Amino acid sequence: MHFISEKLDDYVVKHSEDEPALLKALTRETYQKILQPRMLSGHYQGRVLSVLSKLIRPKVILELGTFTGYSALCLAEGLDKNGIIHTIDINEELVDFQRSYFDKSDYGSQIIQHLGSAIDIIPTLDTSFDLVFMDADKPNYINYFHQIIDKLNPGGVILSDNVLWSGKVIEELNPSDVSTKIVLEYNALLKDDPRLETVLLPIRDGLTVSIKKIDL
C-alpha cells in the first residue's frame, strides 16, 4: 500500500541507499518462485530496517515472520559483532530457501531459524531482546506483544509492520474483519502503554517504532 504518489515514491527510493546485490537477487527469486511475493519488505523498507538496526546496534533480535528472509538480512546489517537473530516462521516450505540466502550473506551463522507457531516458540527462547520486528499474522499481534514485552530490554525497540493495514484503520470497521479489529486495538495498545514511547511512521503499509523506557 502506497500513501504517496508513485512519482514521489520513486523519488524517495532514488534518494535512499541502494539495495544490496544479494537482496536484489532475493527479491527477483521470490517473485519468480514464491506465492504472495508482495509480502517481501522490499528495497525502501528494507533500507529503513537496516538503518534503524544500525542505530540500535542490537545484540539480540527477534523477528516474527521470516517469509523469504529479506527483512532478517536487512536487520542483520546492524547486529553487534557477536549478535544473533532469532527469526520465526510457520511455513516449512520456505526454510531451505531462507537458509540459502542467509548463507550467501555475511550473517549466516548469526541467523537462527525457528519453524512453528511463534506463540509456542517465544516462551522457549531463554534470552532478552534489544530489537523485535513484528511482521507475522495480525490476529496474534496483541498476543505476541504480551509475550515479548517483559523480554524486551530497557531501551529496546519494537518495530511493528502493516499497522496502517492498507488504510482500513480509518475506514468503518466490518464486525467480521478480525484482523483490522486487532490492528486497531494493537495500535492503541502501543500508544497507551506507559512502558513505551511510540511513533507511527507512514512508511509503506505503516511501521511503528516503540521504545521501552529505561527509567521504569
Choice between 208 and 5, residue whose per-residue pLDDT is larger: 208
**If you average pLDDT over every residue of the chain, what do you get?**
95
Residue 200 has φ and ψ, to the nearest 5°, of -100, 120
> Which residues is 7 bridged to in the sheet?
none
Does residue 34 contact residue 94 with C-beta atoms inside 8 Å?
yes
pLDDT > 60? residue 186: yes
Quick check: 41 and 49 in contact, CB under 8 A? yes
Q: What is the pLDDT of residues 164-173, one digit of tens each?
A: 999 999 999 9
Crossing angle (nearest 10°) for helices 6-14 and 43-56 = 40
Our CA angle for 192, 193, 198, nearest 5°, is 75
**pLDDT for 23-32, tens place per residue?**
999 999 999 9
Count the neighbouring beta carbons within 10 Å of the beta carbon of residue 170: 8
Answer whether residue 1 shows pLDDT above 70. no
Per-residue confidence (pLDDT) for residue 9, from 0 to 100: 87
> Which domains, from first to last, does the chain contain?
6-212 (3.40.50.150)
Kindly state the average pLDDT of the residues 154-179: 95
CA–CA gap between residue 215 and residue 195 (Å, rounded): 9
